[in-house]
Amino acid sequence: MQNADFKDTQRELSQLQKKISELWNAIGIDKLREKLAELESDIQKNEVWSVKERFAEINQEISRLKRKTDPWAKLKNDTDEALGLLEMAEAEGDESIINEVASIVKHLSVVFDQLET
């Protein structure tokens, strides 16, 4: 029974990671995060502070990019952590952790569905 639970959870997690990766690439999260890093660097420069309109504009764009990328980055990170936890559970033969990861995967799937829409 433990192996079936492990395999089911592993399969669900693998499918979720694939879907996240596909949408991550389709949305262009990496490029958005690069743009975010550039803007955060720009805002540290003195000349930006001297023009209040430009400063406000950059701040708004930073906020917009964070709202778009942060939830995806968190979901990807949480999914990677769940995989690590699942691998640890398998190595230790701990069915309670496998059950916990299965619950986490269900939650992450709900989060994915919300982000997808």
Sequential pLDDT tens for the chain (117 residues): 445 588 999 999 999 999 999 999 999 999 999 999 999 998 888 777 778 888 899 999 999 999 999 999 999 999 999 999 999 998 998 889 999 999 999 999 999 999 998
Q: CA-CA distance, 73 to 34, in Å (whole number)?
A: 13
Fold topology of 2-116: Methane Monooxygenase Hydroxylase; Chain G, domain 1 (1.20.58)
Q: Which long-range contacts (CB under 8 A, 24 or more apart) does 103-109 make?
A: 104/78, 105/9, 105/12, 105/13, 105/16, 108/16, 108/75, 108/78, 108/79, 108/82, 109/12, 109/16
Tell me, what's the pLDDT at 102? 93
**pTM of this structure:** 0.87
* Crossing angle between the packed helical segments 2-27 and 52-92, to the nearest 10 degrees: 160
Which amino acid is residue 37, in one-letter code? A
Work out the number of other CB atoms within 10 angstroms of the CB of residue 19.
15
